[in-house]
Amino acid sequence: MRLTCCLALIALVTAGGYAQNPPPDARAGIEGYDATRLSTPAPTLKSLIEKQTRLWQARKNGDARSAKKIVAGKLTVSSFTGASNGKQFVEQIETRTCKVSSFKLNDFGVKQPNQTSLLLTYNAKQSAACAGKTLPSRIRVKVGFLNMAGNWTMAYYLEE
């Protein structure tokens, strides 16, 4: 069976089947994906850096209103304070449970594996504490973005 599948795949690829007639996007019609808007251009690295800088500045200033504009409620967060969602992340800013005294972001990179997702990575140097506990001063951050019906939205935020 494996041999038959492999031979069929080789025949399809060498005949140029995928190049001329790519398979339909399996996400078309799935909740959150609009097949007519999958090709919305990805944000530029510059705009992603600006958005992350605004988010960190909002954290530093305790500005939950600005953070809400950047962070979606469905965001999944995995940080040194534990796992949370976008709403809880914003609440930490609003209640000042977590305080960022200073920060510096650098070494940004972006990868876009397909039309509907991209990964932003960067280093952060911070002076921060949550519930009185000092957080690591140097972290690596990974932020995943998804193109949801034409809007690029933060899907997850990970600190390492």
Backbone angles phi, psi at 102, to 5 degrees: -155, 160
In percent, the amount of the chain with pLDDT more than 90 equals 61
Split at pLDDT 50, 70, 90, the class of 151 is confident
Q: Spell out the domain ranges in the chain.
A: 35-159
What is the spatial distance between Cα 112 and Cα 124, in angstroms, rounded to a whole number? 21
CB within 8 A of 153, min separation 6: which ones? Answer: 72, 74, 145, 146, 147
Split at pLDDT 50, 70, 90, the class of 134 is very high
pLDDT of residue 97: 92
What is the tens place of the pLDDT at every residue in 2-35?
434 433 334 433 344 434 444 455 555 455 555 4
Backbone angles phi, psi at 4, to 5 degrees: -65, -45
What is the spatial distance between Cα 32 and Cα 153, in angstroms, rounded to a whole number? 11
Name which of 15-19, 34-38, 52-56, 135-139 the model is least confident about. Answer: 15-19
CB within 8 A of 47, min separation 6: which ones? Answer: none
Task: List residues bridging with 134 in a β-sheet.
Answer: 129
Q: Is the dihedral of CA 39, 40, 44, 49 positive or negative?
A: negative
CATH, domain 35-159, list 3.10.450.50, 3.40.309.10, 3.90.1300.10, 1.10.3720.10: 3.10.450.50
- Write down the pTM of the prediction: 0.75
Split at pLDDT 50, 70, 90, the class of 129 is very high
Residue 133 has pLDDT above 90, yes or no: yes
What is the spatial distance between Cα 100 and Cα 62, in angstroms, rounded to a whole number? 9
Q: Is-contact 100 125, C-beta < 8 A?
A: no
